[in-house]
Structure 1
C-alpha cells in the first residue's frame, strides 16, 4: 500500500490531480482505496498482454475481494455509504469488463503509472501544499515528450492487438468455410451453388489478405514509434550519465534513476508484447498461407528488426548506478585503496526478468587492459559474482549490488617482490586508470543476452598520502574526457579551460563545506595561476601546472586540497556561514581593510603555508598611514587543540608597557567580534571558589608581542606578528 499511502500524503495541488484522474476513470476511487495493497502487488501490465489468461484471473480475484470487503463492513452510517459504493462498483465493473478483462488490466496499469507520475511531481515540488515553482524545464520538454509518446505507443499497441484478434476471427471463418466448401478432387464446375461458394471463399481470402497487410502495417508503425522513443531515452540516459559524472566531482545533481527505469520498463514491456504478436502472426501463417502471403515475406523482417531494438534497449539499459567508492570524509568516489573495502552497484533499467531463470552477474577488473608496459594488475578478492534471484521485489528493481570488495595487486613472478609496474610504467600510480566491468546473463520470454557495462575510470592507491594526487587525476579526467573508457588519458593529458576548471573547483568547496566559491574567490585563484592581466575566458591550465609544479614547494592543487582538508576538519561551519573571507590576496586585503576602523579584521587562507588560515587586522595610528598585522597561520595541528573562534576571542597582543589587549574587535566589514563568533565559542567552566579542594579553571590563549626594534609599518608593508608559545594561566572570569 506504499504508493497509495504516499499519494494521499501529497499537497492539495497534486491531490486534486489524483481526484481528476479517478473522476474520469472506470475504476472508482473507493475500489482503489479498499484494495490498494492487493492492486499494487499485481503485474497488471503483463496481464494486459495479448493471449494471456492472467487478466481474467486477476479480474475475477478483484470481484471476489470486493465481495469479501462488502461482507466485512459493519452497519454504521459510513459503512452503509461505502457498501453502496462498492456494490455499485462491483456491478458496473462486471458489466463493463466481463468479456474483456485485458482492457481492465490495461486500465489499472495506466492508472498506476499516472499515479507514479503525479507522485514524482509532488515529491519534487515538496509537501508544503504550495504550487511548485516553475523550475521543471525538462518536464515541459523531453520528459513530457517521452510520456506523450509512450502513451501513444501503448494506444497504438492496443489497436494492433484488437486488429490481430479481428484477424484471428477472419482466419477462423475462412478456414472453416474452406474446409467445408472447397473440394479440389471433385468436378463441380457446372454447379452454380458451388461457384457462388468459391466466390464467397475468394472474397473471404481477399479480406483476410487485406487484414493481414493492415496488421503488418500497424506493426511497422509500432516499430517506428519505438525507435523514436528509444532515441529519446538514449538522449535522456546520456544526460543522466553526464549528471552522474558531475555528481562524482561534487556537483549538486539529480542522479535518481526511477523515471528512466519506468520509461525503459514500459518500452520494454511494449516491445515484448509486440514480439508475442509477431510470433502469433507466424502461427497464423503456419495454419493458413497462400500465394503472395504478406506474412511469409514480412514477418521475419519485422522479427529481426524487433530483435535488434530489444537488444539495443536492454544493452543500453544496463548502467552503473553507484560508481566504485570507499567511505571517506570527503565523499570522493573513484579513488580506491588496496586491501580496503569498497562497493559498486549496477542496475538494469528494464525491470523485466524470467523468475524461473537465475540471472548471474559478475564483475571483472581491467577486462581489456591498455597495452602499457608496467601497467599494474589487480585481483578482486571476496565474491566477484552474484545471482539475482526471482524473488527480488519489482519495486526495488534489478540491481547488482557488490559490497565489501577488496583489491590486491598481482605479484610479478619474475621480480620476486611485488610488482615492477610502478617503476616500469610511464605513468605514476595516481595517473593509472582502471575499470570494473559488470556482466549480466539476462533471460526473459525466450530472449537470452549477455549485458555489459563499465564504471568510470578509477585510481588505485596503496597509501593515504596518495589520496590527494589521485583525486586530482579523477577531477582532471572527468572534467575533460568524453570517453569513459580512455584508460591512457594521462599519457597526453589535455589542458583545462579556466571557466570549466573554476566551476569544478567551486564544486569541491560546495561538497566539502556546503558553500562554493564566489566570483571574487575565483578571481584571486585565477590571478594566482595566470597573473592579473590574463584573459580568463581564453586562459587554460596544463595538467603539470595544476597538480605538479609549484614555486612554494607544493602544487596549486595541493594548496587548495590542504585548505579543503582544513575546512572539512575544523572550519566547515565558519566557511558555510560566510565568516571566512578565504581567498584574498595581500594587495586586496589591504584595499579592503584600509578604510575600516582600527581593530577590523578578516580571516583568509595562507598562500605560503599548506593548509593554513590567518587573521589580518588594521590599525590607524594618530599620524601616518594605516598598518596591517597578520598572525602566523594556524594549521590543522594547532586547531585540533584550540578552535579558531576561541583563538579569536582570547587572542592577546602585548601593547605598550606590556599590557595585553585583544586587537581583533570587528569582523570585516563591521560586525562586532562576539556577535559574529559568539555562537561558536566553547563553553566556559566557571570555578567555584567555595570548594577549595578543586582546581581553578584555566584555558589556553594565544599571545603575540611587537618586535622591539620594529616601528609601525606603512600600508605598503605587511607586518607578520610572531606568536609566543607561552600559555597564560587565567583565574576564573579573567581575560
Structure 2
C-alpha cells in the first residue's frame, strides 16, 4: 500500500498533526495528493542537501515537480474543477518562485514531510514510539509571544497618540505664553504712557489691576503647565512599562525560541529535522525591531519637546529610557545575525562547500539601502574562546585560508529576507595546533566566523555583528571522515550550543539512553526506519562488550568517548562507532529498501539468530550485520543434511559494499535455492520480489553482436533442497566431494557458525593481488562449450 493511501486512513490527532506539518513547511497538501505516485517514486534521500554539487539534481526534481503539477492541472476537466485547476497552477508558480534559487531547500522540505508522514503512519498502525523529533502543536509560548507583541503594538500606538496630543498641547501652550507675554508687555507700555507720573493715583490703581490680571494669567498658564507635566510623566510611565514588557518578550524570543532553533539546527546534524521556522522567528524579531525603533523615536521627540519647553521634573519621574531602548535594539541586531545554513561539519580541504547567513531584522531597519559585506574566516577552538571572552580579540588571526569567503547581504523583496549565500567557498589551507596526549587530528575542532558591520539611520547607529558556526572537523583524506563524523555526532548530540557553553566543551561520558537516542536519530534520518528497542539493546551490549557488565539494564550506564570511538571492540581492530558507521553506510547505499520494509533483522547476535532459526522449518533465513567485519551483512539459515537429516544453522560469508556493487542482496537471495522463507515464515519472493532485477534488464542487446551474461551466486558445498530440485530440474547439481571451494565470498560457507575465519581469508584476498582465473574454469560453467577442443584450453 502506498504511503498516501495509508495517510488517508489516519484519524483524530494524527490528521491534525499532518495538517500542521504541511502548514509549517509551506508545502501544499493538494500537491502532495495529486502528485503522490511521482513524489513517492523519487529517491529524495540520495541527494546530499549539504553539498552544492547536488544542486543540479535538486533543480531537476523541482522542474519535474512543477511539470507534474501542471500536467495534473490540465487533466482536471469540468466546470467544478476550474478553481482547483487554478489553485494547482498557482502552486506550481509559487514553488518555482520559492525554490528556484535554493532547490536543495525544496528537497529538504519534501524529504522532511515524507519522513514525518511515515512516522505518523508507523505510530498510528504499529504504536512505534516517536524519537527526538515529533510533530508538535503550536506551543503555548508561541501564542504568548504573539499576544504580547500585539499588546506592545497597541501600547506603542497609544503612546504615539498621547505624544501627538502632548505635542499639540505644548505647541498651543507655547503660543499662549507668547501671546500672553506680548499682551502684558503691551498693556504695561500703554499704562506707562497713559500715566507717566509715578505718584499718579490712577497709575497705582491701574498697576494694581495689571498685577491682578497678570496673576490670573500666570495661574492659568501654571495650570496648563502642570497638565503638560502630568502628560510627560504619564508618557514616561507608559514607555517604562513598554520597555519592561519589551525586554521580557525579547528575552523569550532570543534566549528561548532562537536558542531552541539553534539547538534543533545542531541536532539536524544527527538526523533530527528542525521543527521551528526561521520565518516565524524573523516575523517576531522584525516586530521587536519595529516596536523598539518606534519607542526610541518617540523618546527622541520627547527630548526635543523638553528642550523647547524646559520643565523641572523629578529625575525618578522621567527616567532616561532612550539608551535602554538602544541597548535592546543593539542586542536584537547582534543576536539575529544567524547562520541560516551551516557549512558542512566535516570539511575537506580544497573541496567546494556552501553556507548562508541571514539578518532577521535587516528588512525593517533598511540595512539593504547600503548593503553590508559579510566575511567568513576559519578559527580554532582556542581562538573562538578568546573571541568570546575578549571583545578586543584580533579578528585577523585565523587558522586557515578560505577562498570566495566574502559576500554582500541581499534583500529579497518577495520574501522579505536579507541574506547572503556563499556557494563556492573552499578551504585552501589549514593551520593545526600542536596535539597533546592521545588526541587525534579528527578530534580537533574549528569553527567558521562570519562577521559584518553596518549602520542604520544615516549612520546614527553602528553595529558590529558576528556569528560562529557549529564546530567543524577538517580532513584531508576520505579515510579520516568516519572518525571526524564521530567527533561531530558527539558534539551535536551532547554539546548544546544554545546554552552558552564555552567553545566547544563536551562531556567525557554521557548516559546510554542519550547515546541510543542519537544513534537512532542518525540511523533513521539516513535509512528511513528507526531502530527498535531490541536493536538498541543489541547496540548497548556491543558498546559495553569490553566491560564486565552484570546486568542487561543499560539505562543507568554511561558510555565514554573512549568506549565510543577510541578503544577497539574486543577481538577487533575497530571501535564501536566505526562498526556502527559501517552498518549505517552499507544500509544507506545498498539495503535501504529492504530495511524499510522490515526484511532485515540486522542487529542480532549469532547465538540469538541460531536459537530463533532452529525453531523454524528448513530453509528459513534471516539477515544479520557481521560482528567482526566492517560494513558487512551475513545470511544465516537453517539447513538439513539430505543424508543424515541433521539440522544445523549455517552462516554465509558476509557480503560487503564491493559485493553488492556487483550484484544486489535481493538477487543473491534469489540465486540461492537453499533459502526459502524469510524469518519467521515469509516466502522470500514475497519479501524480496520487488527488489529483484527485472529479467528484461539483462537480456541480450540486439544489434551489437554480443550476448549478455549474468553473475549468479552459488554454494557448491551445500545440496539444494530436494523440493526445489524437483520443481526446477537442472537448476541445481549435487556437490561432489572433489569440489573445492573457490576464493569467492559467495561460495564459502562456515559450517561451524563462525564467520571470523572466512572474513580473515576475505581480508587476505583483498590485500593480495588476484591471479587471473584459468579460462577453462570460466568456460566450464557454460554447456555451450562442452565439445570445445581441450587442446585449445
Same structural fold, with TM-score higher than 0.5 when normalized by the shorter chain: yes
Aligned residue for 2:534? 520
- My pick for the range that moved more, 252-261 or 668-677, is 252-261
CA contact (8 A) 1:422 1:429 kept: no
3-state DSSP class of the match of 2:209? Answer: coil
CA contact (8 A) 1:438 1:453 kept: yes
- CA distance in 2 between counterparts of 1:695 and 1:678 reads 29
- CA distance in 1 between counterparts of 2:423 and 2:317 reads 48
3-state DSSP class of the match of 2:481? Answer: helix
TM-score (norm 1): 0.71
Aligned residue for 1:403? 423
3-state DSSP class of the match of 1:596? Answer: coil
Displacement of 1:716: 12
Aligned residue for 2:445? 433
Aligned residue for 1:457? 471
Aligned residue for 1:641? 662
CA contact (8 A) 1:468 1:558 kept: yes
Aligned residue for 1:443? 455
- CA distance in 2 between counterparts of 1:472 and 1:7 reads 34
- CA distance in 2 between counterparts of 1:408 and 1:427 reads 24
3-state DSSP class of the match of 1:346? Answer: strand
- CA distance in 1 between counterparts of 2:671 and 2:135 reads 50
- CA distance in 1 between counterparts of 2:505 and 2:591 reads 35
Displacement of 1:482: 3.3
- CA distance in 1 between counterparts of 2:487 and 2:439 reads 12
3-state DSSP class of the match of 1:398? Answer: strand
| Higher share of residues assigned helix | 2
Aligned residue for 2:300? 279
3-state DSSP class of the match of 2:574? Answer: coil
Deviations along 1:148-184, whole A, 9 cap, x unmatched?
Answer: 1111111111111111111012101211110011368
Displacement of 1:238: 1.4
CA contact (8 A) 1:698 1:729 kept: no
Displacement of 1:427: 3.0
Pick the aligned partner of 1:698 from 709, 720, 729: 709
Displacement of 1:424: 7.0
Pick the aligned partner of 1:357 from 361, 364, 370: 370
Aligned residue for 2:639? 619
Aligned residue for 1:341? 352
Pick the aligned partner of 1:547 from 548, 558, 565: 565
3-state DSSP class of the match of 1:435? Answer: strand
- CA distance in 2 between counterparts of 1:311 and 1:695 reads 74
CA contact (8 A) 1:628 1:718 kept: yes
Pick the aligned partner of 2:322 from 303, 317, 339: 303
Q: How many residues are treated as equivalent by the alignment?
A: 573
Distance 1:361 1:527, change over 3 A: same
Displacement of 1:530: 2.4
Displacement of 1:496: 2.2
Distance 1:703 1:253, change over 3 A: same
- CA distance in 1 between counterparts of 2:174 and 2:336 reads 43
Aligned residue for 2:84? none
Distance 1:142 1:487, change over 3 A: closer
Deviations along 1:375-398, whole A, 9 cap, x unmatched?
Answer: x96433323322325x54262412
- CA distance in 2 between counterparts of 1:298 and 1:730 reads 103
Aligned residue for 1:675? 686
CA RMSD in angstroms, aligned pairs only: 3.8
Displacement of 1:465: 0.6
Displacement of 1:591: 2.3
Displacement of 1:719: 6.4
Aligned residue for 2:42? none
Displacement of 1:575: 1.3
3-state DSSP class of the match of 2:493? Answer: helix
- CA distance in 1 between counterparts of 2:28 and 2:556 reads 51
Aligned residue for 1:148? 147
- CA distance in 2 between counterparts of 1:630 and 1:297 reads 85
Aligned residue for 1:318? 337
Aligned residue for 1:268? 289
Residues 484-633 of structure 1: pairs in structure 2 closer than 5 A: 486-487=502-503, 489=505, 494-531=508-545, 533-550=551-568, 551-619=571-639, 626-633=647-654
In structure 1, stretches of 5+ residues that fail to align are 1-5, 12-119, 128-132, 326-333, 412-418, 652-661
1:718 aligns with 2:756: no
Pick the aligned partner of 2:402 from 350, 357, 381: 381
Aligned residue for 1:177? 176
Aligned residue for 1:249? 270
- CA distance in 2 between counterparts of 1:401 and 1:299 reads 46
Distance 1:693 1:10, change over 3 A: closer
Distance 1:226 1:377, change over 3 A: closer
Residues 87-236 of structure 1: pairs in structure 2 closer than 5 A: 137=136, 139-182=138-181, 190-191=209-210, 192-233=212-253, 234-236=255-257
Deviations along 1:605-663, whole A, 9 cap, x unmatched?
Answer: 11111111111111356988741011000111111111111100012xxxxxxxxxx11
Displacement of 1:199: 1.9
3-state DSSP class of the match of 2:462? Answer: strand
Displacement of 1:559: 0.9
- CA distance in 2 between counterparts of 1:676 and 1:260 reads 46
Displacement of 1:137: 5.0
3-state DSSP class of the match of 2:138? Answer: helix
Pick the aligned partner of 1:666 from 659, 662, 677: 677
Displacement of 1:696: 5.5
Displacement of 1:461: 0.6
- CA distance in 2 between counterparts of 1:508 and 1:534 reads 24
Deviations along 1:486-521, whole A, 9 cap, x unmatched?
Answer: 45648xx51121101111111221122112211111
TM-score (norm 2): 0.66
Deviations along 1:8-27, whole A, 9 cap, x unmatched?
Answer: 9899xxxxxxxxxxxxxxxx
Displacement of 1:230: 0.7
Distance 1:143 1:687, change over 3 A: closer
- CA distance in 2 between counterparts of 1:196 and 1:371 reads 71
3-state DSSP class of the match of 1:291? Answer: coil
Displacement of 1:469: 0.4
3-state DSSP class of the match of 1:339? Answer: coil
3-state DSSP class of the match of 1:669? Answer: coil
Distance 1:423 1:268, change over 3 A: closer
CA contact (8 A) 1:436 1:454 kept: yes
3-state DSSP class of the match of 2:715? Answer: strand
CA contact (8 A) 1:430 1:461 kept: yes
CA contact (8 A) 1:182 1:198 kept: no
- CA distance in 2 between counterparts of 1:602 and 1:310 reads 62
Displacement of 1:687: 9.6
Distance 1:381 1:252, change over 3 A: closer
- CA distance in 1 between counterparts of 2:623 and 2:566 reads 28
CA contact (8 A) 1:160 1:215 kept: yes
3-state DSSP class of the match of 1:364? Answer: strand
CA contact (8 A) 2:384 2:503 kept: no
- CA distance in 2 between counterparts of 1:253 and 1:227 reads 27
